[in-house]
Amino acid sequence: MKCKKCGGKAVINMRQHNMGLCKDDFLQWLPEQTQKHIEKQKMFTFDEKILVAVSGGKDSLALWDMLNILGYQADGLYIALGIDEGISYSSESQRLTEEFASARDLNLHVVNMTSDYGIDLPTLAKETKRGRDKPCSSCGLVKRHEMNRIARDFGYDVLATGHNLDDEAATLFSNTLQWNGDYLIRQHPVLAERDGLARKVKPLFRFYEREMAAYTLLRGIEYIYEECPFAEGSTSTQYKELLNQLEHEHPGAKIHFFTKFLSAKKKGLFAEPTTEIVPELHICPSCGQPTSALKLCTFCRMMEKSSS
Amino acid sequence: MKKTSTIILRDKKYEVKAGSTLRVALRRLEILPESVICVRDGELITEDNILQEGETIKLVSVISGG
């Protein structure tokens, strides 16, 4: 296959764009497209301070790499969850993230659940009702809480995550299967800052997971290849596989599914959210972060239960 | 003797017939090209490449869950 831009040998075929690209053109195209979507969606500007949530996986490291290349002020945040049973998942992903930051002289914040809160994620999940059967739920809660805390405490304007189009399409698929209206209304690549919640953006929302893997490989970025042991066989993985089958038969199915959802929303598919869907926020008396609860926020309630 | 190439995905190794395209080999192995990227000697290749006798193609799974 030939590169659509230069006619050289293509290293990746993006059937949804009817386009193959060689290494050099792909490594130029991806950051250019990222910049285009950052501008189009008004995610952030070069004057703003960005906090990138980095897991040590391909997407977040690729995002941090591209923001750095594009000239943004982007620092990283790694949350050490202590998932080290068997394959040293957390310690290895932390090592890779720290090496990535150090090699590029980038600033990295590290939150360590065990030293900062006295409990690791697997133990926390076991000890609380929320996480007993589904540790990913506790993990998501911890990450959202800590990302917002660091963004607020260190004065970042925006919080960026490495969610790609496959992540977004799988989430949309899940929420549509359940007609989960309150999640559907909030799913967007840009969530505005609100009452103490930092602005959240997903600059990779237009790229397939496959393109992000290709980018990290071509850039020589070492990432954690092993799956989180808790995520093995997860519903989101099953949905991604289903969507890939559809994509195989109908190239572009995934990108159309998600981008046409965004267009439909823009055209008024959903009514304006009521306070029932987007509740008023209060300040948690323990951590000072915004919460829809009238007393302790969900994170602080979970930590309280685990220590009792 | 049958001419073959080797395809590796995670800890699995498959012997496939050389001389056909990678796309055909993936179809026979029931691996979706959408879920992997293909690497030969450290270089990314597209699925229209023809498998050469004795060579090894490493597939990198791209799906991450959670």
Task: Dump pLDDT digits (tens) for A49-67.
Answer: 999 999 999 999 999 999 9
Q: Do B44 and A218 touch (CB under 8 A)?
A: yes
Give residue for tokens 């950051």.
A31
Q: Do B60 and A225 touch (CB under 8 A)?
A: yes
In angstroms, what CA-CA distances link A91 with A95, A98, A146, A157, A251? 6, 10, 18, 29, 38
**Chain B residues closer than 8 Å to A90 by CB:** none
Q: Is residue B48 part of a domain?
A: yes
For residue A292, pLDDT beyond 60: yes
φ and ψ at A287, to 5 degrees? -105, -10
Give the pair of three-digit tokens for residue B39.
């690497």
Which regions of chain A does DSSP assign to beta strands (E)? 12-14, 19-21, 49-53, 73-80, 108-112, 158-160, 190-191, 199-201, 282-283, 290-291
Q: Do B64 and A57 touch (CB under 8 A)?
A: yes
Instruction: Check residue B1 and give its pLDDT.
Output: 63
Cα angle, residue A146 at apex, residues A98 and A69 outer, rounded to 5°: 45
Q: Is residue B9 part of a domain?
A: yes
- Whether this model's ipTM surpasses 0.85 comes out as yes
Does B64 reach chain A within 8 Å, measured CB to CB? yes
Q: Is residue B66 part of a domain?
A: no
Q: Do B60 and A10 touch (CB under 8 A)?
A: no
Amino acid residing at A178: Q
Minimal C-alpha gap between B1 and chain A (Å): 30
Residue of A209, A219, A232 to mutate for B, most B C-beta atoms under 10 A:
A209
By residue range, what is the domain housing residue B41? 4-61
Q: Is residue B54 part of a domain?
A: yes
List, in order, residues 6 or more apart from A279 with CB less than 8 Å away: A292
Q: Three-class SS string for A213-233? A: HHHHHHHCCCCCCCCCCCCCC
Q: Is residue B25 part of a domain?
A: yes
Q: Are A288 and A275 in contact (CB under 8 A)?
A: no
Give the nearest partner residue to A228 out of B36, B37, B66, using CB atoms.
Answer: B66
Instruction: Check residue A63 and give its pLDDT.
Output: 98
Q: Is residue B56 part of a domain?
A: yes
Query: What tens digit of pLDDT does each residue of A129-181 get?
Result: 776 777 888 999 999 999 999 999 999 999 999 999 999 999 999 999 999 98
The structural domain count of chain B equals 1
CA distance A8 to A23: 9
- Least confident residue range of A17-21, A44-48, A89-93, A132-136: A132-136
Cα within 13 Å of Cα(A176), Cβ side: 10
Does B1 reach chain A within 8 Å, measured CB to CB? no
Q: Do B65 and A228 touch (CB under 8 A)?
A: yes
Instruction: Report the residue of chain B nearest A16, measured CA to CA.
Output: B34
Q: Is residue B52 part of a domain?
A: yes
- Residue ranges of the alpha helices (H) in B7-56? 22-28
Q: Do A214 and B37 touch (CB under 8 A)?
A: yes
Question: CA end-to-end span of chain B, whole Å?
Answer: 45
CATH number of the structural domain spanning residue B32: 3.10.20.30
Instruction: Report the residue of chain A nearest B33, measured CA to CA.
Output: A248
Q: Is residue B22 part of a domain?
A: yes
Query: What tens digit of pLDDT does each residue of A218-274 get?
Result: 999 999 998 888 888 889 999 999 999 999 999 999 999 999 999 999 998 887 767
Distance from chain centroid for Cα A122: 21
